[in-house]
Chain A
């Protein structure tokens, strides 16, 4: 039983890492521009799909991965420039529809370019399972966890220590004040979307050797990222990371112990319970009533 629990924990943390990265990207965009980006999951899909096709086209693996990340960042920045910036004063509901439109658009583009098939990526290094007791761990699981940890640390460093990171934070506190002290708000938003897309692409690349991907795999991931962000308290980036990991573990335990068919339902039941009992999320500040 302990071995089985440990196994669930491993797969939970792996999936949770993806949720954490998507949730973190979600939070960065939300903080910078007050937009709930429903196209967040599409970044994961685009990162994974472009890596797959570059690699299949004969580009060496590391270069294919790097190029895929850059492509995804470009998509994220284009999204900000073409869809979010022109609709600056739109209401919450309107921006939600815009990002939903963007996610449908990106999915349509992926369908057109890559078709409906399911693809995988080779693991980063040789796939020899590591046994711990009766549980097994793939090296790729470790890459997912390690890659996520590194990305989270890098994001923290960026927002805590660099002048650009602090400028983005200033924009999220008060856009007008930020522009008064000479911060180029539009450029900061562009960078925020770029980082968010970058995190999505990293998540997609890390996890595709384990879970595979297809043109429509971004939808559920985007929703789970939203869940992670809400669970941790909307606007708290480390909350989103914690929320994502927690969500992954709960889901995995629920699927293993209760029923795998209800896996997604368990995640949403937890979300509803948290919202009903503690609407500000686990790590959020108390003002959940913010409009």
Chain B
């Protein structure tokens, strides 16, 4: 119970918000964006935070899922769930094939390789217009229904993405405390030491790469159906960077930190809108300032400050 306490709190907040404000713009539009970004950030955090492997190309898997669903449902009339499964197959296979050569690299080389992968896939979305619709994208993606219930309004989408986010969070929390999770933590600490204790580091890293790609792909498929439209812009290098920023901003190696970062970066543009032309400038400044003064991330540094303060109070009352 205690281990998953944070998870239950998150679920309660999510459900309560949906029930109390079903018509609010901040639930039906911003809320859906937050949940989508949170799913992606949590899945990226599995790789970056826990396994310590940076990826600057996570948006590519999100895009592959979205395009698989978009292309198969609009051009071939495939069942949306089968299309989603196809997306999972494509993303998973690609991640599996690339995992070993890419994750063999470290530090800046790894950053470059994942960045390159993301950019190549993005260029493919733009250029292969015979299948992806090119820069204009694909529209008219049909709606989906779950157990006979058509997901055809915003609040229903909120529940779908909210559910996916909770599921992802639950998976993430459980992976971390499982045997593979401990192996990942060992890899993060020292790869050589992990190998010495019998961890097959290459295969552990490959597994987590595939898991995180598959989660992103599922989120992408649902995103395509929710938007009813996909275009390459949503899956660019910039979005990959934004996802990395969410993970780092919240605090690496913390599932809730990733969610916190996703919430923050999804809401921030809404608030910055009033600054109009200054929006980009302020966004960049905020990123720099947080990272300079709280290099461990807002959530991790913040919770450390709070626990430190509580401990001090405990000591002084004794």
Contact = CB atoms under 8 A, between A and B. Distances in A.
A108 B120 contact: no
A291 B288 contact: no
Contacts of B252: 93
B245 A100 contact: yes
B248 A107 contact: no
Interface string A96-107: 111011111111
Contacts, number: 134
Contact of A101 (B105, B117, B285): B285
Given A101-B288, A102-B288, A109 B281 contact: yes
B284 A36 contact: no
A256 to B, nearest CB: 16
B174 interface: no
B109 interface: yes
A216 to B, nearest CB: 10
A276 B110 CA distance: 11
Interface residues of B, number: 44
Nearest to A92: B107
B107 A91 contact: no
B123 interface: yes
Contacts of B244: 93, 96-97
A87 interface: yes
A8 interface: no
B105 A90 contact: no
Given A83-B288, A268-B116, A262 B281 contact: no
Interface in B79-113: 101, 104-109, 111-113
B292 interface: yes
A226 B110 CA distance: 12
A275 B117 CA distance: 12
Contact of B48 (A93, A109, A234, A261): A93
Contacts of A275: 101, 105, 109, 112-113, 116
B105 A279 contact: yes
A223 interface: yes
B111 A83 contact: no
A224 to B, nearest CB: 11
B284 A87 contact: no
B282 interface: yes
A30 B244 CA distance: 21
Given A86-B292, A98-B291, A104 B280 contact: yes
B279 interface: yes
Interface in A74-98: 83, 86-87, 89-94, 96-98
Given A36-B111, A93-B48, A94-B295, A102 B277 contact: no
A49 B124 CA distance: 31
Contacts of B284: 101-108
Contacts of B105: 275, 279, 288
B119 A268 contact: yes
Nearest to A226: B112
A288 B109 contact: yes
B203 interface: no
Contacts of A90: 291-292, 295
B301 to A, nearest CB: 12
Contacts of A36: 108, 111
Contact of B106 (A101, A107, A289): A289
A269 B120 contact: yes
A112 to B, nearest CB: 6
A9 interface: no
A113 to B, nearest CB: 10
A108 B127 CA distance: 28
B248 A93 contact: yes
A218 B291 CA distance: 22
B278 interface: yes
Nearest to A96: B111
B241 A100 contact: yes
Contacts of B282: 108
A98 to B, nearest CB: 5
Interface in A7-60: 30, 36
A126 to B, nearest CB: 38
Contact of B109 (A86, A93, A97, A234): A234
A137 interface: no
Interface in B296-316: none
Given A98-B292, A271-B113, A272-B117, 13 more contacts: A89-B295, A92-B54, A93-B248, A97-B244, A98-B291, A101-B291, A104-B284, A108-B282, A265-B124, A271-B116, A275-B113, A275-B116, A291-B107
17 contacts: A83-B292, A96-B54, A97-B249, A102-B288, A103-B284, A104-B280, A105-B284, A106-B284, A111-B280, A264-B119, A265-B119, A272-B113, A272-B117, A275-B101, A279-B104, A288-B105, A290-B106
